[in-house]
Amino acid sequence: QVQLQESGPGLVKPSETLSLSCTVSGGSISNYYWSWIRQPPGKGLEWIGYIYYSGSTNYNPSLKSRVTISVDTSKNQFSLKLSSVTAADTAVYYCAKLARPAWVFDYWGQGTLVTVSS
Amino acid sequence: SSELTQDPAVSVALGQTVRITCQGDSLRSYYASWYQQKPGQAPVLVIYGKNNRPSGIPDRFSGSSSGNTASLTITGAQAEDEADYYCNSRDSSGHHLGFGGGTKVTVL
């Protein structure tokens, strides 16, 4: 059973870079796609982007200029960086496994709340 | 990014049937998947593809699609089905993903 766990600072200052990691356990990160999704408090889900274990990426066009997703297969981890954050980036950030060819998120982390505030 | 539209809220009497819909042009080309989210929890995949349920999802959940509309039906709704439900699919280009705004299901 694949398990995912997000980690990173819960508080980030405006204009700084949000950095999160997702550790995958119970299976290898290789040969699969991995994604980040966020949910502002009281609002809906927003897909941020995904990465293949080889390093190829695809981002939500609305966030593309500020997002970088990377993978470290030696640590069975993938990471998210979101630059120039504002209060609008305050959200619960989820990492998830993206199953293809169905293009569904079949495993999710528990989520981590990141607040952008000075 | 994907533009998928859902009704904000729907209610259903205990044991009755409720259908939740998701509309979007991309659904003419791609299947929707459906996620259940209870307060304070991560979403859980309940339906994907033509009408597939992951292991552990009760068979009272079913999916269908017609034209630009995908539907999730709960037949014989239970109290534990009260949750937010989100649809998800690719956009019309096929390269990006997106979610509907979510539907809050209340079981009366």
A82-118 per-position pLDDT tens digit = 999 999 999 999 999 999 888 999 999 999 999 999 9
* A61 close to B15: Cβ distance less than 8 angstroms: no
Spell out where B5-80 has E strands: 5-6, 9-12, 18-23, 33-37, 44-47, 61-66, 69-74
Chain A residues whose C-beta sits inside 8 Å of any chain B C-beta: 35, 37, 44-47, 50, 58, 60-62, 94, 102-106, 108-111
- Contact residues, chain A, for B101 at CB < 8 Å: 44
Residue B93's pLDDT is what? 86
Q: Which of B49, B86, B96 sits opposite A58 (nearest CB)?
A: B96
B61 touches chain A (CB under 8 A): no
Residue A92's pLDDT is what? 98
What is the distance between the alpha carbons of residues A110 and B9, in angstroms, rounded to a whole number? 25
**Nearest C-alpha of chain B: how many angstroms from A118?**
25
Residue A102's pLDDT is what? 85
* B60 close to B74: Cβ distance less than 8 angstroms: yes
Q: Tell me, rounded to whole angstroms, the distance of Cα B81 from its chain centroid.
A: 12
Residue B88's pLDDT is what? 97
Region B81-104: mean pLDDT is 95
The chain B residue lying nearest A35, using CA atoms, is B97
Q: What 8-state DSSP symbol labels residue A110?
A: -
Coil, strand or helix: which one is B26?
Answer: helix
Residue B21's pLDDT is what? 98
Q: Which of B42, B49, B86 sits opposite A108 (nearest CB)?
A: B42
Region A74-86: mean pLDDT is 97
Whether pLDDT at B1 is above 70? no
Tell the residue number behind the tokens 């966020």, with chain if given.
Answer: A38
- Contact residues, chain A, for B1 at CB < 8 Å: 47, 60-62
Residue A101's pLDDT is what? 86
| Contact yes or no for B35 and A45 at CB 8 A | yes
CA nearest B81: which of B99, B56, B58, B107? B107
Beta carbons within 8 Å of A84's beta carbon, 6+ residues apart:
A15, A17, A66
Beta strands B9-12 and B103-107: pairing type? Answer: parallel
Residue B2's pLDDT is what? 53
| Mean pLDDT value across chain B | 95
* B44 close to A106: Cβ distance less than 8 angstroms: no
| Contact yes or no for A105 and B86 at CB 8 A | no
Q: Which residues pair with B31 in a beta bridge?
A: none
Q: Which residues of A55-83 are buried (b: 16+ CB within 10 A; e: fewer)?
A: eeebbbeebeebbbbebeeeebbbbbebe
Mutate to test the interface with A, among B22, B96, B104 (most CBs of A within 10 A): B96
CA nearest A26: which of A54, A55, A5, A8? A5
Whether pLDDT at B10 is above 70? yes
Residue B57's pLDDT is what? 97
A20-73: pLDDT as tens digits: 999 999 999 999 999 999 999 999 999 999 999 999 999 999 999 999 999 999
